[in-house]
Structure 1
Amino acid sequence: MTPTLFSPPRPLSAASCAIPRVDSALRLSLRPVPNRRSVVDGAWWPCSRDAAAELPDLIAAVDRLLDRATLRIGVHRDTWQNIPRRIPARGRQVRIGWFRHADPRVITLSFAAGEPVVLLIIPPGTAAGAAKAVLKLTAQETAGMAVDDILTLASLPPDPAFSAGIAGSPARWENEGGSVIA
């Protein structure tokens, strides 16, 4: 089975994709079979930092691609704007949890059965070439690679908004224990 790249449906509002799409065909990469040795299971390139506008399309796409129902999403509180508590999706409400202790560069989707899916967030406004490189790289095997390694290998410059998500702390995230390290 090969990784799937898709083009999401039209955004919910005109403001949700204020940044022009250079190539709208590549917005999500997701390995069909997650590898628990990998830090991320794919990447997502949202159009904005507006969670209410961006998350419904992500939920629909992941549900369709994995044939599972997303029940909960975990995001970093300081990275996103307009974070709702719940988002309606296919006859259910997906709960949104926001945290300040999580890596601001990833989003986690949880399901009733199976392992959660962790996606690397490509910052909105990233140049198309760099975003495509990250999407392609995360669709391949990234076992043993930290988020910083993936971003460096794809030549994606650090995004100050995501790095600043952990106030007063360095932007390096410890791979296994889930805490910031110096």
Structure 2
Amino acid sequence: MTTALQSPLHSAPVLRLRLAPRSELPRAIDGAWWPRSRDLLAELPQLLAGLPREWGHITSVTVNGAVWSAAPGRILVSNQVVRLHRALAANAPHTVVLLAPGRGRWDLVVVPPDTTEDAAEPLMAAAAAVPGTN
């Protein structure tokens, strides 16, 4: 008698995203994202799929071109075209900017993929904290 071993089902890794609570007041940073690699084409679809529905369809993403791997000017995510922009913003090297027409703009801190969990947790918590609370 032989026994066939089934490999466990492969599931997508958990999205490491922490968003600030909704507020009427504008924020400089709307949360934090901790991708697993610098491969934008691999990481971006999971990020966009995990965003709140009320953010609408993100049509434009701007990243720091110095820290992400090369990517085309646009990609198809869930049958929607998303334009990719690469900036060399020295003042915000670890951010990603998401735009949804008629809905808004969201700026997320990007925690570098090689950051340890102990170091990433306080960065993500700070980015999502309510201003004036500690």
TM-score range, shorter chain: 0.7 to 0.9
Whole-angstrom CA distance in 2 between matches of 1:82 and 1:89: 17
1:49 aligns with 2:51: no
User: As a proportion of its length, which structure holds more strand?
Assistant: 2
With a CA cutoff of 8 Å and minimum separation of 6, indicate the structure with the bigger relative contact order. 2
Answering whether residue 9 of structure 2 is matched by residue 10 of structure 1, we say no
Percent identity between matched residues is 31
Aligned 8 A contact 1:51 1:84 in 2: no
Partner of 1:90: 78
Match of 1:137 in 2: 126
TM-score by length of 2: 0.78
**Given that residues 21 and 128 in structure 2 are in contact (C-alpha distance below 8 angstroms), is that contact kept between their aligned partners in structure 1?**
no
Q: How many correspondences in the alignment?
A: 121
| TM-score, with length taken from structure 1 | 0.59
Letter in 2 for 1:138: A
CA distance in 2, matches of 1:55, 1:41: 17
SS in 2 for 1:116: strand
Quote how far apart the aligned CAs of 1:82 are: 2.7
* Structure 1 residue 99 corresponds to structure 2 residue 87: yes
Alignment RMSD (CA, Å):
2.3
Structure 1 residue ranges, 4+ long, deviating more than 3 angstroms after superposition: 64-67
- Structure 2 residue aligned with 1:21: none
Contact 1:39–1:142 (CA under 8 A) maintained in structure 2: no
Structure with the higher helix share, 1 or 2: 1
The unaligned stretches of length 5 or more in structure 2 are: 1-10
Higher gyration radius (CA): 2
1:68 and 1:89, CA in 2 relative to 1: closer, same or farther beyond 3 A? same
Which position in structure 2 is the counterpart of 1:39? 28
Instruction: Give secondary structure in 2 for the equivalent of 1:55.
Output: helix
The Cα offsets for residues 19-73 of structure 1, whole Å up to 9 and x where unpaired, read as xxxxxx571011252541x3210000000111111111111112x4535110100
1: CA distance between counterparts of 2:99 and 2:130? Answer: 21
